Structure 1
């Protein structure tokens, strides 16, 4: 019985893979036309579809909206009962129907045409009413459904979803949509934190920065490391400029040299020209640098070289950057 389940699953995946591969031959000048129409849109892209096509349309609208193309979904049944007022002549409508004959979608076509909103269709039948009425029809026809009965939308919905993603990505690249733009539409998630959070937002500042003068004895410097809890201390001159750093690793090397911590000044054992990060850089950049160098903390400096903070791996963890 288990083997039968696996065979069915593999067959379904194979059929849907073939459907996706077939899409490559269905991307033509019509796809370019659809992209050009959407790029010229002064309003929003309104996606509509019934049943499973509606579920796919909802996702396509969400993907478009999060990648720089303002978009929302309107249920065609609700559109006939008032929601059509959400569509204006400045918008572009994407209507999805595998058959191209869905009654609820065809019912609102005359009204969409009357208000002058350009219509793009996604259908599995380029000769259908919906395809003929559209300014551009994206062909999402498939050789067959993965459902052995040929009834449940499977390959057709997968192909439509992939076509929608292709449309969104093409528009994203045409707009020059950046990772930072993407983050602004995802401020609540970990992705947003990685792309928007700056080092200055989470670094230790003021008295929380471990720092000593160059002539500080090593014993006193170790006390500073212990009190501030970052596993290192910065070394600054009289003008507040960073001149060195002393870490747990430096301490191990100091002990190997049998130096007296009560008579050795920090400037004799500190690391000069150690790694730092600027306060205006992304917190994710600090994480990448720490992971690359296998270190746990970094001094934070301004663009002029002045020490302004300190950051460690625990700060990044607490901020959700990791």
Structure 2
């Protein structure tokens, strides 16, 4: 049963969301140097927020997910976990994250601001889960949730936010917008079309017929636009804030940007829909896309760059342990 609950948490990108408030705190490094233990608490809060968001999403979408024959590994689809228990697990994780937030209590006023940011992030995630497939473009709500989760991490260091911290939050939000609207829209297109899911991908005419995939230029334009905005934000601190950088740092960012765009192009030019290939491409794309922020933030502290390896390691280990292959996120 523990294995099924681990699957329910979508551990393949648990560390990715867990890092959101951590990067928020580190973006304030020039104002306040957060202790390692405080960063660990922020990571736990991020992971609990992830669990709430994904488990509650599965709870609401189980009927749609059952229409896909390739999602039987999901515990709610297979019936391994009851919907009622999943709901308790989701809500319990959210409430537990609020309790962990008390670790950062300094004054009643500051804590009120801090907890309000965290709760607002949860509210945005909840709204997204309720209406994500009822009308196109609702992905902005989950992007907003991660934006405020990063802001929460920054505010845990100081409620007077820097421009750098706000840019990092926008980078994270834009990244999640792409992951949900584009990556998510593509990987779920087979059963979203059948079940009537109203996503941006469906609205713009992406479809799968007899295994053949059609991706209109309108969807490609949206995808590339978000990807370019995300990359522009990564270089913004160097261009507009005068953040000091090194030549090798820029070279790494350019290489990562090129790899990211390569996987974007690969996904947008698929002719045949094979879910396992889509999952693999999405996983690799997200790994390189996420790495951009920690590498950019090395201008504050070189050691921040090591955080680029945390989500990939979590992705590979969880897939290997739960699904028998490092690039097989069967519950994606």
Q: Please tell me the TM-score bracket, short chain as reference.
A: under 0.3
What is the TM-score when the length of structure 2 is the normalising length? 0.20
TM-score w.r.t. length of structure 1: 0.21
When you count strand as a share of all residues, which structure comes out higher? 1
Q: If each structure's helix is expressed as a fraction of its own residues, which one has the higher value? A: 2
Relative contact order, higher structure (CA 8 A, sep 6+): 2
